[in-house]
Amino acid sequence: MACHDEEVPPEMQEALAAQQKYKQVEIDVIAMRTRARAGLGRAVFEERARQGKTQDQAASELGVVVEQVRRYEREWRIWQREHPGESP
């Protein structure tokens, strides 16, 4: 977006560019966090399946509440649906 298109004074061009960079970083961080949560959900799910553990047991071992384990695994299922065949 050009400054003249947005009617930004020339002295604000650097600030506008920094703001755009900041907004992109926010978007990137959200994507990274989503990917990491999906990876954690996959790891928890696979470990539970391999070891025959319940969500309660996994939560206890991870030091979180069972609802958090459910959220991790839900993120993994969402990732699988939205990114078929792609590893988080």
> What's the pLDDT score for residue 67?
97
Domain coordinates in residue numbering, the chain: 22-81
Pairwise CA distance, residues 60 & 74, whole Å:
18
Rounded Cα distance, 4 and 12, in Å: 11
pLDDT of residue 5: 52
Instruction: Please give the average pLDDT of every successive group of 10 residues along the chain, which has 88 residues.
Output: 60 89 97 96 96 96 97 96 92
pTM: 0.76
> In this structure, what DSSP letter does residue 12 have?
G
Cβ–Cβ < 8 Å for 34, 72? no
**What is the pLDDT, as a whole number, of residue 1?**
47
